[in-house]
Chain A
Amino acid sequence: MGPDEFLFLLIGLKWTVALSAIGFVCGSAAGLGIALARTSGIAFVERLTAGYIAIFQGTPLLMQLFVVYYGLALIGIKIDAWAAVSVGLTLHASAYLGEIWRGAIEAVPRGQTEASKALALGYISRMKDVILPQALRISLPATIGFLVQLIKGTSLASIVGFTELTRAGNMISNQIFEPLTVFGIVGILYFIMCCPLTIYGAHLERKFAASTR
């Protein structure tokens, strides 16, 4: 494998990073909405979001990408493969992050809500200033764990036909017939992205476990 092939992989890597970033940022925004709706106390809204989460957690990401990819075309929205994949990853991330953050919001002691109500804080201020900062801290290890899962999940964009790292590896491997070298390097590139996050997540988990003991 020469430098040209490696450069091609790095271009694919750039798209993997971009997809992960879009999926995580947009998914976080939507996921926050899901988490707040899931803990809103309005029975209908809670059931609706619980169903949304169950659907995304009970089906493969690959199928979600397929349905979004062909579903968007069906309703007349013509967008590129990368945009369709971004929408798919965003929906996927919103469900998983929504569920993680629901757990975190519920893990904040009930007295915090009662105290802020007693201080006459409105819903927005109560969430923004009291509950969510504490929930964020609790949820951080799981959130980072999901980010790693999302980065790995972007590899499925290759099956839909978008050239990110894995598909770039596939193309190179078909060209130079060295699948083990190519997929070995592709694996190492993913590892370099994910491993620091995994270590950081484990570190935070240990730290929080020690502080709540």
Chain B
Amino acid sequence: MNYTLDFTPVIDGMPNLLAACLGTFVLAISGMMLATIIGIGGVVLRTSKIAPLRWLVIGFVEIIRNTPFLVQIFFIYFALPLAGLRLDPTPTAIIALGINGGAYAIEILRGGVQSISRGQVEAGLALGLHKAQVFRFIVLKPALRAVFPSLTSQFVLLTLTTSIASAISAYELTSVSQRIESDSFRSFEVYFTVTAFYLVISWLMMRLFAFFSARYFAYPVK
């Protein structure tokens, strides 16, 4: 009971912790980009006319959404070398985050794409736009705008999920804090501080998305 809090190891490790915050940002942003690519690609396949492609995407989404990220990252960590890809833990974590986030992005984006009325697409085609142009300007952008709030909260969740990448010792905040903790045994002090860091990181992420939304989706609806 006579425990006195001692934040010296935390203060000594501050440069390392701040650098690790950057690592978390890199992991989160790269994961989000991959997730967005997978999400858009997945939605295209999910709405395709070829049934087996649709089933494939549905199966992928349900498998990812109904298993823990920790199990997914372990699986990918061991599966990639067997597939001939020898990667460091950090790129492996980015791939795992991208796949996980991508599955959720597909579900969210699908809702957005469904909200675009068929007439819009037909009007675009009638105006002589390419299929690709129709998809990009008439389907994708308004769909992204419609689901942007859900996408934001999903991607903030993805940012928090990066902490699980410490399980394969990727370079990010949690793994660095675990190293400081095991050197100093000041577990509570270290994890308390790092928790506060995560609060700031997720707040910054939300600001970033709000900025992005104001920059790209601020056009009037009708």
Contacts and interface: CB of A to CB of B under 8 A. Distances in A.
Interface of A: 55, 58-64, 66-67, 70-71, 73-76, 148, 152-156, 158-159, 166, 169-170, 173, 179-180, 183-184, 186-187, 190-191, 194-195, 198
Given A190-B71, A198-B65, 14 more contacts: A58-B160, A58-B198, A59-B198, A60-B163, A62-B163, A67-B188, A67-B192, A67-B195, A152-B69, A158-B70, A166-B68, A170-B74, A184-B75, A186-B71
List the 4 closest A-B pairs by CB distance, nearest first. Answer: A155-B68, A194-B66, A60-B163, A179-B78
Contacts of A158: 70
Contacts of A152: 66-69
B75 A187 contact: yes
A70 B177 CA distance: 14
B123 interface: no
Contacts of A62: 163-164, 166, 174
Given A63-B163, A63-B198, A67-B192, A180 B69 contact: no
A64 B195 contact: yes
A198 B66 contact: yes
Contact of A198 (B62, B74, B164): B62
A59 B199 contact: yes
14 contacts: A55-B199, A59-B195, A62-B163, A63-B194, A66-B195, A67-B188, A70-B191, A152-B68, A154-B68, A166-B68, A179-B78, A183-B78, A184-B75, A195-B62
B66 A148 contact: yes
A36 B167 CA distance: 37
B219 interface: no
B74 A74 contact: no
Contact of B74 (A59, A73, A183, A191): A183
A60 B74 contact: no
A148 B67 CA distance: 9
A109 B74 CA distance: 47
Contact of A155 (B70, B78, B162): B70
Contacts of B160: 58-61
Contacts of B203: 58
Nearest to B198: A59
Nearest to A167: B70
B82 interface: yes
A60 B199 CA distance: 9
Given A63-B174, A194-B66, A74 B3 contact: yes
A58 B161 contact: no
B67 A180 contact: no
A187 B195 CA distance: 28
Contact of B79 (A148, A166, A180): A180
B79 A60 contact: no
A180 B71 contact: no
Contacts of B69: 152, 155
B205 to A, nearest CB: 9
A146 B175 CA distance: 27
B187 A70 contact: yes
